[in-house]
Every structure is written in structure tokens, then in C-alpha cells.
A = this chain, B = another copy of it.
Amino acid sequence: MKPSTPSPSPWVLSERAALMNPSVLRELLKLTEQPGIISFAGGLPSPKTFPVAEFEQACARVLRDDAHAALQYAASEGYGPLRERVAAGLPWQVDPAQVLITTGSQQGLDLAAKVLIDTRSRILVETPTYLGALQAFAPMEPQVHSVASDEEGVDIAALRAAQAAGTPARFMYVLPNFQNPSGRTMSEARRAALSATAAELALPLLEDNPYGELWFDQPPPVPLTARDPAGCIYLGSFSKVLAPSLRLGYLVAPKEVFPKLLQAKQAADLHSPGFNQRVVAEVMKDGFLDRHVPRIRALYKSQRDVMLAALARHMPQEVSWNRPVGGMFLWARLPAGLDAAALLPKAVARGVAYVPGAAFYAGAPDARTLRLSFVTASAEEIERGVCALSAVIREHMV
């Protein structure tokens, strides 16, 4: 008897589907969620910072005072009072009509990609850059060019060369404050130069600022968008100052682009959860963030200090790292001859995890780099984890 032939699959996937890949980070998170692993891998805010009591009160109040509207379909633009609060909180003149509430700032990346990228359009990113942005852009099939960057941010000469080397890029994606993954912050001088150069080159900027409020000693320089609102789309988030699971972010776009972003938003999920928007607006009233965010800053600064001290104490001198002035991440580099991806399983076997830096490069990766989050683990875990990681590195040094 011949075996029966299975019927051929009816599914033909799009070309873009081949460009989609499982998120290295999300797969890693599963690995590192094993009990007993000290994880510097996740980009998870410390749950200590979640304002649970305030959410409880806000949920109760919204459902008591305004349940029917809060549970019904709502405008794609977002909840008016929340849009007004966002506009009022930004350090430049923003009309609330230019604010679009998004399902996390990740959705802002998806919408911008849809509206600005055609197949094979060139776009520019920093080196390294946020992996989630590369994943959001990929389905629109761009050519991504990685612009050389140093500790102060984008290299302006490299930017000029990149823009001259091919068809003009549709935009450059930048994350100037406490960058994910590198923790670096773009200097005032570099921002001024980038803003002027982008205007001169007619290059739109897509500015992502999820961590900007999490500064340690002084606020970062003003956003690029504040310098040229007509030439920039700005993305912000409530995930790092309130809670990620509400999935609320926002974008601010010039009047020329806003209507198309709004139409893309309608098509993507009609609107972001209206109940969540009202809860966040309720929590934020009376200046709650002005009292709440300083506590996050103080906690994360102390955790950064613990990590810096542990690194200085334990790491071989051939390992280098930076000193972030805000945010959640620190960027380290292994000694020559070591590969952070190859080392990871050995580190996990010793009970500590991190994210290899290679995933964050749109171009040729620096395989020696790695990202360490200092906000999720406790101070005691940071000390133990860095000690274990140092031992693994020493063992594998030649």
C-alpha cells in the first residue's frame, strides 16, 4: 500500500514574512525566566515602581463615574484629556490635535513604517539601534543603513556620507536618551548638529524617547523634535513611568503626516484601549508623575551605582563598559577573542543572563558587546550576578 499523500498546503506567505524573525530578546526572556537565573537580559521596569494603589483607585473611579463611555468604542486619535496631558507635558509647543495615542510606543514604529517606507526605501539607524524598531520596520521591506555612532551619538560625517551614497533615506531613526541598547545619551552639541544637518539634507527624524524621564542627575538635552517639529515624528511611552502592561504610548507628528498615521492606526486596531487611557489620565491628574517619577529615578540610579561598583570590583580589566546617566541599560564589551552570544549559554549555566549585543546591529555587529539591564534584579542579585559573569569571562579569556 502506498502511503497517502498529504494534501499540499494552501498557504503562500508574503515576501515580508521571510524577513520576520522570532525576537531574540523574547526567546531569551523565556530562557532566562528559569528559576534561579539572575537576569540582566530583560528590559523590564522594576515592579517596585508600579503605582498599584493608584491604579486600583483609578480603575474604581473610572468605572464608577464613567463606565459606559470608558467601555465603549472610542476615537482612534485617543482620549481627549490624555492627549491634552501629553501635549502639556512636552517641552515644546504641541497642539493636542497632533498627539496620537498608540498601543505602546512600539505601535508608533509600526505606523511610521507603514506611512513612510516603500519596499526597498532606504532608512537610516544608529549603530547599534533598538532591535524592536528593526523588527517594526522589517515588514515594510526597507533597506536599512547603519550610520556609525560614537558615545555622543550619530556621527555627522557618516550621516552625510550615508545620505549622499544612495537615494535619499525616508527617515533616520534615533533614540537619543539612555539608548536601548547602549545606554548612551546624545550630547547637546551632537543634537544641535544632527538637527541642523537633517534639516539641511531634508531628512526626517523619527525620535524615540521611551526613557527620557528616567534621568539620574540632570535632565537630558531637549529633544530633537523640539528643535524642528515640522521635520520630526516623536514617540513617547507610559510603559517606563507607569506600567508596561497597559500598552499605552503616543506619537506627535507634524500636520502633514498626522492624518495618514491616524488612518494607519484606525486600520491597525481601531483605537488603543479606552479604559486604559482613562485610567492613566486619572492616575496622572494632580501632578502624580511629578511625585512618582523621582522615586523611579532614585531607585534606578542606585541600582546603576550598584552595578558600576560590582563591575569595577569583579571584572577583568580587559572588559569595558559605559556609565549611563539615565534609563535602564549599560553597555559592556568583552575582551578580544570572546563572543557574547557564544558565552551566553555558559553564563546561563552559572546562573546569570544578559543580551548579546549583536542583535542590535543593522549592519556588521560587534560580537564582543552585551547589554546589561540594571533595573530588574535587586542590588544583592546585581552583585552576585556580576560576580558570576566575571568568573565566566575570566574562564574563557585566552
A interface vs B, CB < 8 Å? 7-17, 20-23, 26, 42-45, 47, 50, 52, 55-56, 59-60, 63-64, 67-68, 70-76, 103-104, 106-107, 110, 114-119, 121, 132, 135-136, 138-140, 168, 170, 198-199, 202-204, 230-231, 239, 243-247, 254, 256-257, 259-260, 262-264, 266-276
Contact = CB atoms under 8 A, between A and B. Distances in A.
A204 B260 CA distance: 30
A55 B275 CA distance: 11
B269 A107 contact: yes
B267 A138 contact: yes
16 contacts: A10-B198, A11-B254, A13-B257, A14-B116, A14-B117, A16-B118, A17-B114, A17-B260, A20-B267, A23-B266, A26-B266, A55-B71, A73-B245, A106-B268, A132-B270, A138-B267
A55 B72 CA distance: 13
Contact of A55 (B8, B22, B63, B121): B63
Given A60-B59, A268-B106, A50 B73 contact: no
A245 B246 CA distance: 12
A200 to B, nearest CB: 10
Copies in the complex: 2
A227 B245 CA distance: 36
Contacts of A276: 273, 275-276
